[in-house]
Structure 1
Amino acid sequence: MQSATGVSRIRPCDEENLDLQSPPKVESQKIDSDGRELNIVSWEGDDDPANPRNWPATVKWGNITIVSLVTIVTPLASSMFAPAVPQVMAQFHSNNEELASFVISVYVIGFALGPLVVAPLSELYGRLIIYHISNILFVAFTIGCALSSSIRMFTAFRLLSGCVGVTPMVLGGGSIADIIPAERRGTAMAIWGSGQLFGPVIGPIAGGYLNEAAGWRWIFWTLAIIGGVLTTLGILLLRETYAPVLLKRKAKKLRKHTGDPSFRLSIDEQVSPLAYFKNALIRPLRLLFTSRIVFFLSVDVSIAYGYLYLVFTTLTYTFEERYGFSSGVAGLTFLGIGTGMFIGLVTVSAYSDKTAQRKSISGDLQPEDRLTPLVPGAFLIPIGLFWYGWSVAAHIFWIVPLVGTAFFGAGLIATFVPVQMYLIDTFDRHAASALAALTILRSVTGATLPLAGQKLFNALGDGWGNSLLAFIALALTPIPFLFLRYGERLRSGISTS
């Protein structure tokens, strides 16, 4: 059936239409540990319609849209509940301030735990089944929050919701990379990545008004309804995009129909699923602590992400106390950050695609080209913090500090999106593990840093408190310059085995 000298190039999809009468093309050969010849299944040329990169644009953007919407909803749940914390604590007869902060941050702790399981499972079984299971569980755990009868029950469901809600944040970037070539994925990556930041911004605004109108339980019922709709759309429209899994399924189909055990995705396919899972399970943590690329970029993003949640926990209080805003109006102050994020999103996505397309024409596109927006982003964050902190301290007209938060928001996008694109371009098939490592560190920071926020500002005031944060951000400004200059050298020594 096959030549003794080649790689079998078989279409990985349309299994029902597999032509078993025609011998597969074989171009090269590999030998396993027992000396047996293997026929390695791969794409049927660069224009193979089964390759997700060659899907119609409508199918590609349908997948991207659903994943991006889910990536807004699950981070939305992290902060939408924040304005209703006093009502929840009162209903459960607790006045513990630390516990009140913990019921918010415990969700983000789930963001740190979930990637340890989600990333390896996706590399073993594909992205689609993990999306479906996580979406269904997110809806179920969110309903559990709405029906909770004690603070312990409520906290447990919040943690579980975070563990499964992190899935689109870990896998979304990889899904986009599966179907969009590097030179055209800037816009898609920016839209998907910004959802992780826009969600927490929109949350307090919607949650404040919903809590006033219908009570805190309806915040979770609303999230469950939205999550249920997106879960249904996902089941109907999402498709598997992870090439190794698609090819592995095709190889299995060929072995079954031909009786020839030599069809394989690779020699590595002979590793047992349990051994593969164990290796993939520790890969995110190994990348985080042994890869200088992942560690330093994760630190950079995590500080910015922690600042975002720290600002979230103090912004409403600041404008209520300093400017006399009502709780509903104070929620609208988050639009300052949102406006900056939108400007950053448009700018970063346009620049990234334009640069990537120009570089790809000349054949000189490098992952480091993604990191250029990090340079202005590194300075926009401290500028925004200085501006916001000292204008509030001086009681300047309320729109002035909001302009400062807009600079901060733009800096967040200019930091967050380029780093994710860089990790995806650098780690390729193990992009989910690299993003999982990033998500773990930033989630731990986002969950713990806000716990000290109010004490920080009580001790130092708004001016010097925000200035301290800005000085730390300034200390991180060399990172983008170092990666722009030495990134290629660092990538040369990468190992993800």
Structure 2
Amino acid sequence: MPLNFSQARKWVIVWSLAAITFMSPFSSSVLAPAIGYINKDFHNTNPTVGPFPVSIYLLGYATGPLFLAPLSEIFGRAGVLTSSNVFFCLWHIGCALSPSLGFLIAFRFAAGVGGSGCMTLGGAIIGDLFPIEKRGVALSIWALGPLIGPTVGPLIGAFIAGSIGWRWAFWVVLMPSALITIILAIFLPETNHQVLIQRKTKSLAKELKRTDLRSCYEAQQSRKVSQLTILRIGMLRPLKMLLFAPMIFIQSLYVSFIYGSVYLMYNSIPPTFETIYGWGTGMSGLVFISIGVGYMAGLWVFSMLSDRTVVRLTKAHGGAFRPEFRLTIMIWYSFLCPLAFFWYGWAAHMRTHWIVPIVGLFPLGFGVIGVFMPTQAYIIDAYPSYAASGIAAFTVLRSIIAAFLPLCGPVLFKTLGTAWGNSVLGFIGVAMIPVPIFIYKFGARLRERYPLRL
């Protein structure tokens, strides 16, 4: 029973998950500063194709969860996670040795598919290991990767590309990722409660020679359904949860906009500081530290308040827990991202001292955490049996938007300028502030009125 694992074993698993979930999104952005070098090496002059090695990786993120999540719910999380991690590592070897831009793009897509495993299954595994009132801290540690990884990537990638060459970016990702994959393969047993009970049922049925034994999770008609049908239903589950669970769709859309805007900022910040403040590429990468510090501060506040808030509100409601209790923090955080867009955009436009727009990026990192983390915790709490598919649905939408929204950045800022371009993002963020308030007030009623049928 994963809930009964020793604390030492649980935290080895959590920190290992956090480490591999750092390396995967780190790989997503580490190549961004090297696009010019790659185009030069492969003699590419098409400005549309040039950024594809970065964007295509995120499309891999959108593809992998569609089958990795249901596979983990049917066959178990440990084997699926280890396989996807190995797949992730192997394709980085292919990326490092790519003979052409076309091969690099194809290999990056495959690496993104493998890298999506830890992003999709990490939260579900933590949900298997920890009870509701103790998940906040573990989720905060695991979430360091998806948020800090893309921020650190361009900073390190710029120095790698300018010194030892862009191909070394893949070796730098591969070496620690391979080590973490081995650690997880050793220390991570199966944690999916439903799969464990099914395995125990089969074992007892064979040992006792009884054909009437069935798992407590097993539906009456499930024995008449083929494994192929079960797999097909499972693979459609993330899309069905995204489309037919209003709470997942609304929150995923909100988080996807914030997440995509952050990737848009990753592409727009260096040109802004190079043109307005005359900084070099390496120096401009240091600006991302402000967002990273915001992430750290936001995670610390979330880890301190999330579980305590859930316990307090549960007691106040007579011991009746509701997943919507996770969203009270999100309500307050939702004001910070729009504030950051307005602050940063107008400070840079007015050519204030460079520290002013940099400080303005701190609320962006802080606010992203407060939107991203409660949403993941809410999905895990509201749909525990299908947590992996819920997280997959959440990951698919945000990855697609993060892949394509940054492509609008050059046109947006060229047409409207730094101030009004960022203000457009700010106004959209302001329009979305009521989302967590709406879900907190009406989410439970909507879940009861429109139950999810999978």
Normalised by the length of structure 1, the TM-score is 0.88
Picking from 240, 249, 257, the partner of 2:190 is 240
2-structure distance, mates of 1:376, 1:90: 46
2-structure distance, mates of 1:366, 1:264: 30
Alignment of 1:387 onto 2:343: yes
Give a deviation string over 1:150-181, Cα, whole Å, max 9, x none. Answer: 00000000001111101111111110010101
Shift of 1:213: 2.2
Native 8 Å contact 2:14 2:141 kept in 1: no
2-structure distance, mates of 1:321, 1:331: 14
Shift of 1:358: 3.0
Alignment of 1:441 onto 2:397: yes
Shift of 1:228: 0.7
Alignment of 1:287 onto 2:241: yes
Picking from 162, 174, 186, the partner of 2:136 is 186
Return the letter of the residue paired with 2:283: V
Native 8 Å contact 1:283 1:496 kept in 2: no
Picking from 260, 273, 281, the partner of 1:306 is 260
Native 8 Å contact 1:84 1:207 kept in 2: yes
Shift of 1:364: 3.4
Shift of 1:220: 0.3
1-structure distance, mates of 2:174, 2:420: 41
Shift of 1:226: 1.4
The within-5 A match list for 1:33-432 is: 51-266=1-216, 267-268=218-219, 269-270=222-223, 271-360=225-314, 363-432=319-388
1-structure distance, mates of 2:130, 2:314: 14
Secondary structure of the structure 2 residue equivalent to 1:263: coil
Shift of 1:135: 0.7
1-structure distance, mates of 2:391, 2:332: 23
- Indicate how the Cα distance of structure 1 residues 175 and 369 shifts in structure 2: closer, same or farther if over 3 A, else same: same
Native 8 Å contact 2:85 2:118 kept in 1: no
Return the letter of the residue paired with 2:390: A
1-structure distance, mates of 2:60, 2:238: 16
Secondary structure of the structure 1 residue equivalent to 2:383: helix
Return the letter of the residue paired with 2:169: I
Q: Which range is displaced more, 423-432 or 364-373?
A: 364-373
In the alignment, structure 2 segments of 5+ residues that lack a partner are none
Normalised by the length of structure 2, the TM-score is 0.96
2-structure distance, mates of 1:194, 1:376: 20
Native 8 Å contact 2:333 2:370 kept in 1: yes
Shift of 1:360: 4.8
Considering fraction of residues, name the structure with more helix: 2
Return the letter of the residue paired with 1:191: I
| Structure with larger Rg | 1
Shift of 1:394: 0.7
Native 8 Å contact 1:131 1:167 kept in 2: yes
- Indicate how the Cα distance of structure 1 residues 496 and 179 shifts in structure 2: closer, same or farther if over 3 A, else same: farther
1:17 alignment counterpart: none
Secondary structure of the structure 2 residue equivalent to 1:99: coil
Shift of 1:366: 1.7
Q: How many residues align?
A: 447
In the alignment, structure 1 segments of 5+ residues that lack a partner are 1-50
**% identity of equivalent residues:** 40
Native 8 Å contact 1:211 1:219 kept in 2: yes
Native 8 Å contact 1:305 1:446 kept in 2: yes
Higher relative contact order (CA 8 A, sep 6+): 2
2-structure distance, mates of 1:73, 1:349: 22
Shift of 1:365: 2.8
Return the letter of the residue paired with 1:138: F
RMSD: 1.2
Give a deviation string over 1:127-169, Cα, whole Å, max 9, x none. Answer: 0001111111101001100000100000000001111101111
Alignment of 1:468 onto 2:424: yes
Alignment of 1:494 onto 2:444: no
